[in-house]
A and B are shown apart, each in its own frame.
Chain A
Amino acid sequence: DAGITQSPRYKITETGRQVTLMCHQTWSHSYMFWYRQDLGHGLRLIYYSAAADITDKGEVPDGYVVSRSKTENFPLTLESATRSQTSVYFCASSETSVGKNIQYFGAGTRLSVL
């Protein structure tokens, strides 16, 4: 069974530091997504990618950078972490076949910015 892996699972950092959250999937899915989940807001889309070297902004992209040099990896970087970026981050991937419009999520990274 294929999988989607996020690392680290937990991260504590300080305001102003750069942090990179990793996401790796073994399905070779074209689409990958980053969401954040905060109490009272549910999951919100940060960035997504349709293929290697193709990325697009979501609902809350400010303060984040993504890259996708390989299909299987989609790292999310907080260039200068702020307390408001304390959240749980979920990565997801998706097939592109019509009728297979299903997203598969990682276990999440819990980030605390002090």
Chain B
Amino acid sequence: DAKTTQPNSMESNEEEPVHLPCNHSTISGTDYIHWYRQLPSQGPEYVIHGLTSNVNNRMASLAIAEDRKSSTLILHRATLRDAAVYYCILRPPRHSGNTPLVFGKGTRLSVIA
């Protein structure tokens, strides 16, 4: 699996937007970019994923660079409940759900009230 690079930690003020970067310079043309997050004392949860176009859902937005070598997870208004470790993971589509996730260290997001 291609590798991703994320900052170890980031900090945000409550109710401000947060941009979490991820570099994946060795991404293949068919890899999807997935984001998961892990709240304290909980299992990871899916946030969003995309291939080429920017994506939005109720939790976040995903902005993908034109060359696909980087992406940014955007939380539009951070709340205290968004404090978590965020993981950027590349997923090859050919495995259709059977490939285990390969977790890196992720980015620990702290939200300040």
Contacts and interface: CB of A to CB of B under 8 A. Distances in A.
Interface of A: 30-31, 33, 35, 42-45, 48, 50, 58, 90, 92, 94-108
B43 A94 contact: no
A42 to B, nearest CB: 4
B98 A90 contact: no
Nearest to A49: B98
A108 B45 CA distance: 12
A78 B106 CA distance: 28
Interface residues of B, number: 24
A74 B102 CA distance: 20
10 contacts: A33-B100, A35-B100, A45-B102, A48-B98, A90-B44, A94-B97, A101-B32, A101-B34, A103-B44, A103-B46
B36 to A, nearest CB: 8
Given A90-B43, A101-B32, A42 B96 contact: no
B103 A101 contact: no
Given A92-B43, A105-B43, A107-B42, A43 B101 contact: yes
Interface in B67-110: 91, 93, 95-106
Given A42-B105, A43-B101, A101 B96 contact: yes
